[in-house]
Amino acid sequence: MEDKEERIETPLVAIVIDATPAKKFASQAIIDNGSTMMNRIFDALIGFGNAHLMQGSHNKLAVIACNSKSTKFLYPSENGDSKSYHNRPGQYDMFAKVDSDIRHGLSELILKDSIDHDSTTSDSLLGGAMARALCHIHKIQRELSLSHQLKPRILVVSGSSDSALQYMTFMNVFFTAQKENVVIDCCMMDSDSGLLQQGCDITGGQYLRIPTVVGLLEYLLWVFLPGPSCRSKIVLPPPTKVDYRAACFCHHKLVDIGWVCSVCLSIFCKFSIICTTCNTEFKLNRPAIVPSKPKKRPRME
C-alpha cells in the first residue's frame, strides 16, 4: 500500500550578488526612459527576490552581497530595525521590506567601495559570500521543523571574470554545496566564469551568461525562478560547455596541463622540489627518469 508521509517543501533561494562590477555599470549611459543601468539592475534583483517570495507562503529568501573587501547580508538584514521602509501603495508589506533592505544595503556597499581608493584591482570575495550563504542555509535547515523539507539553492549574480586567487575557496564551496544538496545557479553579466561553470555543473544548477544586462529581469524570471524540479518541464537555454581547467597553487593561473603532487594532489604550473602545501619532498635527483617522476597529467575532464 502506498503511504507516504508528506513533508512541506520549503524552497530557499540565497542570492549572492557580486558588487565589484558596479563601477563598470555605473558609468554606463542612461538607457531609454531615464533610468540608469544601475537602477535597472537593482530593480531586476529586487523584482526577482520578491517574485520568488510570491510563489508560496513558505518560500524563503536570503540576499548576500560582496565586494573586494567585505561580504554583507542584505536580507534578512543584520541590523534588525526594519521600520525605516515606506510602503508603496498596493505593495505587500513583506515585499516592501525586501525592496528597501536590498536597495539600502547594496547602495551602501557600493558607495563605500567607490570612496575607498586603495581598492584597485583585488578580486571580489564571491567565494566567501557563497560560503556565508551555505552557512545560512545550514542554519535554516536546523531551525526548520521536521515536517518541512528545505529545498535550498544559491543564485550567483556576477559580472566579474574568474579570480583564480580564490580557486580553493570556490572548490570547497562547490563540494560542500554538492554534499548538502544545494543547487548553485549562476547568472553572469558581460563576462564568463569558468569556475562558476564548474560549480553549476557539479551541483546540477543552471549557468547562463546573459547577452544584455537590460533584460536581466526577464532572464532571471524565466531561467532562475523555477525550482530545479520544475526545470525539466520548460525549455531553457542550452547548457554551456564547461571549462574544467584548474588553477595552480603557486601562481593562481588557470592551467591545461600542470604538475600534481602525488601526496596531496595540489596543482602547480611549474615544477618545484618541495610541495608547498604538504611539504613533501620530491626526490628526483636520484634516477635518470627525472622529468616524469612528478606525475604529469592533464586535469581530469
Partner 1 sequence: MSVQQRTLDCKDLHSYLKTLPAAVLDRLYNHPATCLAVFRELPELSRIYIMRILFVDQAVPKAIMGSWVSPNSARELEDIVKLLTELRVWQEVEMQGGLKGWLLNPTFRRNLKGALLGGGNEWSMKPNTDADPKARGIAVLDEYAMGRWECVLHFMVGSHQHEAISSDALQILQHAGLMKKEPGDNQLSITKDGFQFLLMDTSAQVWYFLLQYLDTANSRNLDLIDCLGFLFQLSFSTLGQDYSTDSMNDGLQKFLQHLREFGLVYQRKRKDGRFYPTRLALDIAAGPKKSMLNSLNASSQATGYIVVETNYRVYAYTDSSLQVALIALFCELIYRFPNLVVGIITRESVREALKRGITADQIVSFLRQHAHSECYKEPPVLPSTIADQIKLWAIERDRFLYKDGVLYNQFDSQADFEILRNYAQERGLLVWHTLNGRKMVVTKEGHDEVRKFWKRHSRNGSM
Q: Which is nearer to partner 1, 96 or 267 (CB)?
A: 96
Residue 31, interface with partner 1 (CB under 8 A)? no
Residue 207 CB, shortest distance to partner 1, in Å, is 19
Taking the CA atoms of residue 54, residue 184, residue 210 and residue 246 in that order, the dihedral angle to the nearest 10 degrees is 170
Side-chain half-sphere CA neighbours of 279 within 13 A: 0
Residue 44 CB, shortest distance to partner 1, in Å, is 11
Grid coordinates representing 9?
517543501
- x-or-dash pattern for partner 1, window 197-226, by CB under 8 A? --------------------xx--xx--xx
Q: Which of residues 50-79 bind partner 1 (CB under 8 A)?
A: 50-51, 54-58
Residue 99 CB, shortest distance to partner 1, in Å, is 8
Grid coordinates representing 208?
547562463
Residue 30 CB, shortest distance to partner 1, in Å, is 21
DSSP summary character for residue 274: B
* Binder of partner 1 out of 24, 69, 76, 96 (CB under 8 A): 96
Residue 175, interface with partner 1 (CB under 8 A)? no
Grid coordinates representing 118?
586603495
Residue 66 CB, shortest distance to partner 1, in Å, is 26
Region of 14-22, 162-170, 229-237, 262-270 interacting with partner 1 (CB under 8 A)? 229-237
- Helices 167-179 & 126-143, crossing angle to 10 degrees? 20
Cβ neighbours of residue 175 under 8 Å, at least 6 residues apart?
A: 202
Residue with cell 536580507: 75
- x-or-dash pattern for partner 1, window 140-159, by CB under 8 A? ----xxxxx-----------
User: What is the chain's length?
Assistant: 301
Q: Which is nearer to partner 1, 47 or 128 (CB)?
A: 47
Residue 224 CB, shortest distance to partner 1, in Å, is 11
Residue 88, interface with partner 1 (CB under 8 A)? yes
Cβ neighbours of residue 10 under 8 Å, at least 6 residues apart?
A: 58, 59, 60, 144, 148, 149, 150, 151
